[in-house]
Structure 1
């Protein structure tokens, strides 16, 4: 099967369409079963790349898409081992978020989900960053876990979904805040992927006042931490993550020429905490 996938990712659309008509009912279930394998070549370069080609070329039937969605949104995929900290199950969770990002993208262009399933899935996905505890980026001998970055990609997709309930946006924002406090300093561009969630909201003209309040709360939490526990290691990691995020956010806002009050708020707190 690995050789078939190697061939598949090199195919042009017509050849790929013909291949899927003959072998798709065997190949696609295999891809789903192994989307979180610890074999990085199979997981990342073959299965995920093949999935991207199939959705780009619109070569998956509606029933295949719906089946994949139901499976991936389940505890056995998206939430598998999420309470366990660092384990190999992170690869299943992390790549489930990438697949779901693609499936939601399709659903926005050409809806295939029942409304109840879509609504339930949006609620479930909104809590992912809040629940994820494994913050590793690259894992030696196993490749990219990157669950925070991939979870951010999914979050950016769902906050832009036309059916997202407004009450879920604060849940997503809380999840982003929680990422600053998970005990690790991010070094693999997680800040840029998380900022993309906020910029999606900014572009969609989400209430600027709410985003300003969220920024204030991020730094309020840092202050509260020092009052209760002093300047411990968790505080310094959270401070580094928060500042790195806000600096990236500031320049993204500056480039967008949007929400000047939000941009000024971010600049105020960065300057204040940078010199603290």
Structure 2
């Protein structure tokens, strides 16, 4: 099957279309079953690359896309062993978020989801960042897990989807805030991917006042968790994550010339907490 995927990746549109008519169901079923393989070559360079090719060239039938979507939002994929940290199932969850991001993108460009399934898929996906506990970036010998970054990409896509229900945005924002307290310090550009969620909301003119209130709540929690004495690693890791996120957000807002009040609020808190 690896050789078949390599071959299809090299095909032009017409060749790929003809191949998918004959072998598409078998190929796509294999890809879906192995999307979270610990083998980084199979997972990243073959399956995910081919998935992107197939959806961007619209080589998949609606029935195939719909089946994949229904599978991806289950405990077998997006929520596989969601309470665990350190297991290989993180690759299943993480790459499920990437597939879902691609499917929601396709649905924006060429709608294929019925309204009930779309609503269910968006709602399920919106809870992912809140539930994910494994914060690993690169896993030696197995490649990128990057579940927080990939989950942020999914959340940004949901936030920008024209048919997203506004009630899901607070869930996504709660998920972003939870990422600061999952343990450890992010070092693989997770802050930029999380900030992209806020920028997606900015582009859709989400109320600035709600985001200011959310930011204040992030720092209120940090204030409540401040050690009265001694050293608590979890607090200082969270503080580092929050400040890095806020600095990245500040410059993103400045560059975009959006949400000046939110930018000013971020500046205030950054200065307040910089040397604490």
TM-score surpassing 0.5?
yes
The CA deviation at 1:19 is 1.7
- The farther-off stretch of 243-252 and 108-117 is 108-117
> What residue in structure 1 maps to residue 232 of structure 2?
232
User: TM-score scaled by structure 1?
Assistant: 0.97
Aligned to 1:199: 199
Evaluate the alpha carbon distance shift between residue 194 and residue 61 of structure 1 in structure 2; reply closer, same or farther with a 3 A threshold: same
Corresponding residue number in structure 2 for 1:247: 247
Alpha carbons 2:159, 2:197 under 8 Å: kept: yes
With the length of structure 2 as denominator, give the TM-score of the two structures. 0.97
Judge conservation of contact 1:86–1:133 (CA < 8 Å) in 2: no
Alignment correspondent of 1:121: 121
Q: 2:91 aligns to what?
A: 91
What residue ranges of structure 1 are gaps of 5+ in the alignment?
none
Shift of 1:235: 0.4
Aligned-partner Cα distance in 2 for 1:21–1:120: 30
**What's the CA shift for 1:167?**
1.5
Deviations 1:144-175 (Å, cap 9, x if unpaired)?
10000000000001111122221211110010
Aligned 1:60-139 pairs, distance under 5 A: 60-139=60-139
**Deviation by residue 1:185-207 (Cα, 9 ceiling, x = unmatched):** 01111000000000000111100
Query: Quick check: 2:243–2:274 contact (8 Å CA) kept in 1?
Result: yes
Match of 2:13 in 1: 13
Unaligned runs of 5+ in 2: none
Aligned positions, number: 276
Partner of 1:148: 148
Give the aligned partner of residue 222 of structure 1.
Answer: 222
1:266 is aligned to 266
Q: How well do the aligned residues superpose, as a CA RMSD in angstroms?
A: 1.2
2-side partners of 1:268 and 1:231: how far apart? 25
Look up the match of 1:184.
184
Report the Cα distance in structure 2 between the residues aligned to 1:118 and 1:142, rounded to whole angstroms.
32
